[in-house]
Amino acid sequence: MQALTAKELEYLVDSLSNEDLLIKQNAVMAASASNPAIKQLGANMIQTHLQHTQMLLQSIGQHQQFAPTQPQSH
């Protein structure tokens, strides 16, 4: 496995930010819904986005194994 590029890491960070926003939006939806089915849908979507967050964090963690420990000079 190769180390991720800076651009790929930026995409991962952006994706983490997006997942965080989706978690918050679904929490608001679940909290404000009066229909139990909508509340359950919001809770399910929160779990899905938490799983996505974990996968993204694992990808970043795996990258640390391959990333250079010293900045490379050009």
The answer to whether residue 56 is domain-embedded is: yes
pLDDT of residue 12: 94
What pTM was estimated for this model as a whole? 0.81
pLDDT score recorded for residue 15: 98
Of the pLDDT bands very low, low, confident and very high (cuts 50, 70, 90), residue 65 is confident
Q: Which range marks the domain in which residue 56 is found?
A: 6-65
Residues 6+ apart with CB under 8 A from 3: 63, 66, 67, 68
Specify if 70 maps to a domain.
Answer: no
Q: Is 70 exceeded by the pLDDT of residue 73?
A: no
Does some domain include residue 26? Answer: yes
In a domain, 32, yes or no: yes
Question: 58 pLDDT exceeds 80?
Answer: yes
For residue 63, the model assigns a pLDDT of 82
Q: Is 74 part of a structural domain of the chain?
A: no
- Domains of the chain: total: 1
Identify whether 53 is part of a domain: yes
